[in-house]
Structure 1
Amino acid sequence: MAVSRESCSHEGETVYLKRKITLVRAISLTIGTIIGSGIFISPKGVLKNSGNIGLSLVIWLACGVLSMFGALSYADLGTSIKKSGGHYIYLLETLGPLPAFLRLWAEFVMIRPANIDVVSLAFGRYVIEPLFTPCHAPGLAVKLITAMGVSLIIALNCCSVRWAANMQTALAALKLVTITLIIVPGMVTLFSGHTENFQNPFDSSSLALDKLPLAFYSGMFAYGGWFYVNFVTEEIINPERNIPITVIVSLITVTIAYILTNVSYYTILTAEEVLESEAVAMSFADRALQGFSSAIPILVALSCFGALNGGIFASARMLFAASREGQWPQLFSMIHIRRHTPLPALILMMPLIFLMISIGDLYGLLNFYSFSRWLFMGLATLGLVIHRFRHPELPRPFKVPMIIPLVFTVMCLFIVGMSLYADPVNTGIGCAITLSGLPVYYLTIYKPCVPGRCTALFNFLTAKLQVLMEVIPQEIKTY
């Protein structure tokens, strides 16, 4: 049982997550989370698994279009289902509690820790790599810097929603500056006649059709983040208007920026140099920006830092929403009585994040969690189609043509299915971990059979942690 407000001996304003996210902050959250480490590390993965420069650029464009389809579908869901929580809430409302719980289980034990660690490991590498040039930085040093960065972001998000949102806005602007610093010299070099790296761009001798799903994973990872605005629906001012505007502006901006950035990479670096590089943006800067190259790693690290901030800010809301729906421990749905932040949901993500950091294989982690991530996004948009037929009477302030969620669903399920063939080990592990949530669901939610002593102990620990963290359930309904 939760401790009452009076037990926390705090008097003041009503405790709930307030609407503090304006349109500018929503766009900053989306762009700032999409542009993270992906565009600085994924070009290698896309090129490696596509086989040539031409096809890799096509995949970058296709990933942008596919992400736009997904974002528009989620905007439809977010303006008709007005709860925070993103994927989890949409699956719960459209397909039922079991798919929603499996998505939540995969999110907590695999997707979120692995996703944060992919970005944070890139952050750690870009921070410390310049100190060891021309050698590679020691793995342990990268992991220590990574852990420090994650801890700092979680502490900031625990302290203030406004501070986290304002930092996200500033870092989003800085990301666009960083991208511009890469695009401009590349375009200048290209238009001055240096097109030798684009000769025979669709070289069939290096084509790797069986690896295309993994190329899409790398590309879609770089676009990942377009859905985070749906995680914080209850905190967005005028979500019916601002969510659709946010996703359209953000995805158009990012798609154009990504394609131009990749063209710049390939103008300066050969395909072999991209594949050999541990940090593509750093290799580009060493070649194209000799006098300014030392600043690029710092800017890229700050870009990764912003993506981490946005991802942690949003994902805590999924755990918060699931707890409020009764599918996750009650402590996760509590809010700090003075700072009005979901402090328990933020802090309790840390152990698994640090475990993933200790694993540290960047590309292995990417394939490891992508299976479940894209499977459930495809199911969420399938849920939109089903929800439309079941509830035609519901008001939909933003309604997309049915073909858009259908195409996104088919593509997600196709990529997921093909990935089991292309990388059966990592994707198989991801599938197994997702399915491990089945017995947990049936034993704790569907037909609870937890011994009374365990329940009493759990309630006792919850009450003690609640007092220690100074948190209580939200006091008013926000949807």
Structure 2
Amino acid sequence: MKKKLKLWDGIMLVMGSMIGSGIFIVSSDMMRNLGSGYWLVVVWVITGIMTVAAAISYGELSAIYPKAGGQYTYISEIFGKMPGFLYGWGLFTVIQTGTIAAVAMAFGKFAAYLIPWLNDSEPIFQNGGFRITWVQILAIVIILLLTYINTRGVKNGKLLQNVFTGSKILALLGLIIFGFMLIKDSQWTANMSFGWAAFQDLGKEVGNNLLPTGWTEIGGMALMGGIAAAMVGSVFSSVAWENVTFMSGEMENPKKNVVRSMVLGTAAVMILYMLVNFVYLNALDRDGIAFADKNRPAVAASEVIFGSVGTVIMAVLVMISTFGCINGLVLAGARVYQTMAKDGLFFKSAIENNRFDVPAKSLWMQGIWASVLALSGQYGDLLDMISFVIVLFYMITVFGVIWLRFKQPNLERPYKTWLYPVTPLIYLLIGAMFCVLLIIYKPQYTWPGFLLILIGVPVYWFINKGKKGTAE
């Protein structure tokens, strides 16, 4: 593959893939699970530590295996083809494509702030609970448009990524600055007055809205369960940074630039996320965050900061953010399926590059399946289920760093994990606690995603039926 991506492009890909719609939405659910400004900040700090620790650990593997496929390649090389395939299977069926669909739908829903007709119009088709709306159609148009642009060469995708990521970073910085300058009645002290006490909401669901009816103080294991449930949102907002590893084959000096991209990009995004949450805590009281209209605290905060025009400002910001995020996900994901195809674990046609030196057929397969998920309306349920699975695969990959140190101590390591073994162990410890607490307190977030991955086992055996030495 031609080396067309520089360090700056890698950083923009990391930041652009991470910053989508999550940071503008998830803090509402997090506050309902925690009920305190202190604990909201703590959960974001924990997530930030996890994310950067994983990126630092991945750096060692990216230097050892500086080729396309990233996490799929690492898992396959260290643990065998089946675990690698199960990751790739999950990536194609829901992790990458489901995220593309969800972020595209967020683009459509925020576009409806600017074009109310999108929300007010009748469904194009409806049969029982299934319906097709114009918001879904817009989401699919965006997915297919960005897929097409990326089939015209890496240069186009790179340019879009840099422009839109740069734009949303500047817009977020503007929101942060004005979020402190223009607020007359700060809610910061009130939100922090609860101290280390945590609360669980007693809101009742009415239609699609949760109405505040009071809070009850919680502690002990109930608090731990609340933290785990809150982390589903913060983790979802902080994934996809590993997408840059999928592009290693097209990165200049991948042994150094991939790890630099991951560490610098994740650290910068987590700082931005923390500052945005400070804005929420400054502009809105606890109920204002927890029960923001349609779970959109960013819109509520923007209205307080900028007045009636705030809704439009936030809608434009989220549209820029989600557009760039989708582009990053589309650009990177197809490289994994191409690498799987070369290993005989995906459709053979995904191997081919077109005349622009990009895997066009792999891009279209990804785009079409993401469009199907957007049309089905099931992407949201799927994504709730797979945060657990994403963390499991992160843990497997991070453990691979430790495993390789024992298995192949003399292997050339152009980059070694900073503060090894402390850094990978920090991630493994926090990740394990997150997964165990979810299994205990929120099993609906765990077993369906795990089952989806296990379905990949018979698929793997079917693909390898008749092959010798491949079923590891």
TM-score normalized by the length of structure 2: 0.86
Supply the distance in 1 between the matched residues of 2:406 and 2:184 (Cα, whole angstroms).
52
- What's 1:98 paired with? 82
3-state SS of the aligned residue for 1:298?
Answer: helix
Supply the distance in 2 between the matched residues of 1:362 and 1:437 (Cα, whole angstroms).
19
Q: Displacement, 1:358?
A: 2.8
Q: Displacement, 1:193?
A: 5.7
Does structure 1 conserve the Cα–Cα contact (< 8 Å) formed by 2:68 and 2:246? Answer: yes
Q: Does 1:161 align with 2:154?
A: yes
Amino acid at match of 1:407: I
Q: Displacement, 1:191?
A: 9.3
Q: What whole-Å deviation, never above 9, does each CA across 1:63-99 have from its counterpart, x for those lacking one?
A: 1111000001111100111221122111101111111
Q: Displacement, 1:370?
A: 1.5
Q: Does 1:273 align with 2:288?
A: yes
Amino acid at match of 2:424: P
Amino acid at match of 1:200: F
Does structure 1 conserve the Cα–Cα contact (< 8 Å) formed by 2:330 and 2:367? Answer: no
Q: Does 1:370 align with 2:387?
A: yes
Supply the distance in 1 between the matched residues of 2:121 and 2:275 (Cα, whole angstroms).
29
Does structure 1 conserve the Cα–Cα contact (< 8 Å) formed by 2:72 and 2:87? Answer: yes
- What's 1:436 paired with? 455
Structure-2 change in CA distance of 1:155 and 1:193 (3 Å): closer
Q: Does 1:397 align with 2:381?
A: no
Listed as ranges, the matches of 1:407-426 within 5 Å are 407-426=426-445
- What's 2:96 paired with? 112
Amino acid at match of 2:442: D
Listed as ranges, the matches of 1:445-464 within 5 Å are 445=464, 447-448=466-467
Amino acid at match of 1:403: V
> Mind listing any 5+ residue stretches in structure 1 that lack a counterpart?
1-16, 450-479
Q: Displacement, 1:185?
A: 2.1
| Residue from 317, 320, 339 that aligns with 2:338 | 320
Structure-2 change in CA distance of 1:415 and 1:197 (3 Å): closer
Q: Displacement, 1:160?
A: 1.7
- What's 2:13 paired with? 29
Q: Displacement, 1:163?
A: 0.8
3-state SS of the aligned residue for 1:289?
Answer: helix
- What's 2:353 paired with? 335
Structure-2 change in CA distance of 1:373 and 1:137 (3 Å): farther
Structure-2 change in CA distance of 1:200 and 1:137 (3 Å): farther
Q: Does 1:356 align with 2:340?
A: no
> Mind listing any 5+ residue stretches in structure 2 that lack a counterpart?
123-131, 201-217
Deviates more, 1:58-67 or 1:264-273: 264-273
- What's 2:278 paired with? 263
Q: Displacement, 1:194?
A: 5.0
Deviates more, 1:161-170 or 1:268-277: 268-277
3-state SS of the aligned residue for 1:327?
Answer: coil
- What's 2:236 paired with? 221
Q: Displacement, 1:446?
A: 5.7
Deviates more, 1:157-166 or 1:404-413: 404-413
Supply the distance in 2 between the matched residues of 1:271 and 1:317 (Cα, whole angstroms).
43
Supply the distance in 2 between the matched residues of 1:286 and 1:250 (Cα, whole angstroms).
29
Supply the distance in 2 between the matched residues of 1:66 and 1:314 (Cα, whole angstroms).
22
- What's 2:63 paired with? 79
3-state SS of the aligned residue for 1:205?
Answer: strand
Does structure 1 conserve the Cα–Cα contact (< 8 Å) formed by 2:144 and 2:368? Answer: no
- What's 2:250 paired with? 235
Deviates more, 1:236-245 or 1:403-412: 403-412
Deviates more, 1:191-200 or 1:274-283: 191-200
- What's 2:176 paired with? 183
Q: What whole-Å deviation, never above 9, does each CA across 1:373-408 have from its counterpart, x for those lacking one?
A: 111111111112111211112211110112212221
Q: Displacement, 1:419?
A: 2.0
Q: Displacement, 1:426?
A: 4.3
Structure-2 change in CA distance of 1:269 and 1:398 (3 Å): same
- What's 1:128 paired with? 112
Supply the distance in 1 between the matched residues of 2:121 and 2:393 (Cα, whole angstroms).
36
Q: Displacement, 1:272?
A: 1.7
Does structure 2 conserve the Cα–Cα contact (< 8 Å) formed by 1:121 and 1:357? Answer: yes
Runs (4 or more) in structure 1 with deviation over 6 Å come to 135-139
Deviates more, 1:187-196 or 1:123-132: 187-196
Amino acid at match of 1:150: I
Structure-2 change in CA distance of 1:361 and 1:188 (3 Å): farther
Amino acid at match of 1:62: I
- What's 2:203 paired with? none
Root mean square deviation of aligned Cα? 2.3
- What's 1:150 paired with? 143
Q: What whole-Å deviation, never above 9, does each CA across 1:121-157 have from its counterpart, x for those lacking one?
A: 2111111134339x88878232122111111111111
- What's 2:226 paired with? 211
Supply the distance in 2 between the matched residues of 1:248 and 1:20 (Cα, whole angstroms).
20
Supply the distance in 1 between the matched residues of 2:109 and 2:324 (Cα, whole angstroms).
15
Does structure 2 conserve the Cα–Cα contact (< 8 Å) formed by 1:82 and 1:233? Answer: yes
Structure-2 change in CA distance of 1:387 and 1:446 (3 Å): farther
3-state SS of the aligned residue for 1:371?
Answer: helix
Does structure 2 conserve the Cα–Cα contact (< 8 Å) formed by 1:125 and 1:137? Answer: no
Does structure 2 conserve the Cα–Cα contact (< 8 Å) formed by 1:41 and 1:122? Answer: no
Structure-2 change in CA distance of 1:201 and 1:298 (3 Å): farther
Q: Percent identity?
A: 24
Structure-2 change in CA distance of 1:137 and 1:237 (3 Å): farther
Listed as ranges, the matches of 1:287-306 within 5 Å are 287-290=304-307, 292-293=309-310, 294-306=312-324
Does structure 2 conserve the Cα–Cα contact (< 8 Å) formed by 1:442 and 1:448? Answer: no
Does structure 2 conserve the Cα–Cα contact (< 8 Å) formed by 1:121 and 1:362? Answer: no
Deviates more, 1:172-181 or 1:188-197: 188-197
Does structure 2 conserve the Cα–Cα contact (< 8 Å) formed by 1:128 and 1:137? Answer: no
Does structure 2 conserve the Cα–Cα contact (< 8 Å) formed by 1:172 and 1:303? Answer: yes
Amino acid at match of 2:351: S
Deviates more, 1:304-313 or 1:420-429: 420-429
- Number of paired residues? 432
